[in-house]
Amino acid sequence: MALLTLNQINKSFNGQNAVSDLNLSIEPGAFVALLGPSGCGKSTTLRMLAGFEKVSSGSIFHGGRCLSNATTHVAPENRDFGMVFQSYALWPHMSVMENIAYPLTIKRVDRATKQKRIQEALAIVQLEPYADRSPAELSGGQRQRVALARSLVTEPEVILLDEPLANLDRHLRATMEETFRTFHKRTGATMVYVTHDQSEAMSLADQIAVLKNGQLIQWASPQSLYQQPRTAWLADFIGRGSVIRMQPSDEVQPGRKVEQSLIHQQLVLPHTPSQGVDVLIRPQSVCLHPSLGISAKVTQCIYRGGHFDVELSLPSSQTLLAYHDTPLAVGETLFATVQEGWSLEPDHD
């Protein structure tokens, strides 16, 4: 098992940069998500990893093997990576078993090995009873499981997945996420998974690369992205919360946790500093009390199933989002304490 590295990758189409100066180092056996809004360069990155696109500059290595650089371009079929697409890309005239067998047929693998690998792959995706059906006789989720099984029969070290759940309904997506988790555990393969759905990325991946306009904004674990996002854009993309402006000080600097006492000192003031550091406060950090903390007026209260979203107006005229178990009246004044905040870098674009 080998490290997969992207070094200073650039890709442009007609003079326009789709991916800029991308560096990633993917550990063997990791489950990595490439996440970002439409057009941010996720699929282009995956296609360069697969070998469907050449790099404009930079290099891609799998262990010591160079797959792409200015002078080298290993063809997709010689990279020995598995691929799973949104569209399943199954052969309609072949049975489930024949579809799964196809990569082994191409590689002229002997009959006994072929049978063994097909049976193992069918078992991993729990499709043994469907081996003789045609793709037309399967549900969307079952078709995607066939595509998964087909991606692993050649025992690749790396499997690339491009929005594999995009065509499935919400309920099926949750079931399929479980299939991916089991699949990853059983195969131990390195998985690189493209999605624009942050909750899918957070629940599946152990490392996430968030891209925006072709640039890597942050490369971190799901927990770090949620608790310590670099910028306000990322904080908003990854979860819910409020961004408040605070005066900069030794303790309030981008990339640092902000303590409760500092937040309170500033939020009780009647003015927002016009210039300063943006601080993220997740709703879970806000507690509401009848008499303790910063005075806060309820401006909105919406039921979200299990909790209420409460929007509060503070003395500084800034807005804070909190969660609460019971409904609160709009116009009611109560008190808030904020356990901690996270100071953000300015968004540059």
List strands edge to edge, sheet with 257-259. Answer: 242-246, 277-281, 340-343, 257-259
260 and 337 Cβ atoms separated by less than 8 Å: yes
Cβ neighbours for 278, distance < 8 A, ≥ 6 positions apart: 232, 243, 244, 245, 246, 343, 344, 346
Q: How far is the CB of 197 from ligand ATP (least distance, A)?
A: 10
- Are the CB atoms for 202 and 222 separated by under 8 Å? yes
In the complex with ligand ATP, which residue's Cβ is closer, 18 or 165? Answer: 18
Tell me the per-residue interface mask from 95 to 134 with ligand ATP, x by CB under 6 A, - otherwise: ----------------------------------------
By CB under 6 A, tell whether 213 contacts ligand ATP.
no
87 is an interface residue for ligand ATP by CB under 6 A: no
Tally of CB atoms within 10 A around 198: 20
Q: What is the distance, to the nearest Å, from the Cα of residue 109 to the centroid of all Cα atoms in its chain?
A: 36
Reference 343, options 235, 238, 195; nearest CA is 235
Nearer to ligand ATP, 159 or 336 (CB): 159
Smallest gap from Cβ 43 to ligand ATP, in A, equals 3
In the complex, what is the shortest distance from the CB of residue 335 to ligand ATP, in angstroms, rounded to a whole number?
A: 43
Taking only Cα atoms into account, the Rg of the chain, rounded to an integer number of angstroms, comes to 24
C-beta of 117 vs 196, nearer to ligand ATP = 196
- In angstroms, what is the minimal distance from the CB of 196 to ligand ATP? 5
DSSP H or E segment with residue 29: none
CB of 271 to ligand ATP, least distance (A): 41
Phi, psi dihedral angles at 346 (to 5 degrees): -65, 150
Shortest approach of ligand ATP to residue 19 CB, angstroms? Answer: 7
Touching ligand ATP, residues 183-202 (CB under 6 A) = 196
- List phi, psi (to 5°) of 345: -80, 150
Interface with ligand ATP, residue 13, by CB under 6 A:
yes
Looking at the Cβ atoms of 83 and 286, the one nearer to ligand ATP is 83
In the complex with ligand ATP, the residue whose CB is nearer, 42 or 117, is 42
> What are the strands, taking DSSP E only, across the chain?
4-13, 16-26, 31-35, 57-62, 65-68, 81-85, 158-162, 190-195, 207-212, 215-220, 242-246, 257-259, 277-281, 286-289, 294-303, 308-313, 319-324, 333-338, 340-343
* Contacts to ligand ATP from residues 22-51, by CB under 6 A: 36, 38-44
Q: Does 135 bind ligand ATP (CB under 6 A)?
A: no
By CB under 6 A, the count of residues binding ligand ATP is 11
Give the residue with the Cβ less far from ligand ATP, 19 or 146. Answer: 19
Among 4, 6, 9, 18, binds ligand ATP (CB under 6 A): 18
For residues 45 and 207, which CB has a smaller minimum distance to ligand ATP in the complex? 45
Residues forming the site for ligand ATP (CB under 6 A):
13, 18, 36, 38-44, 196
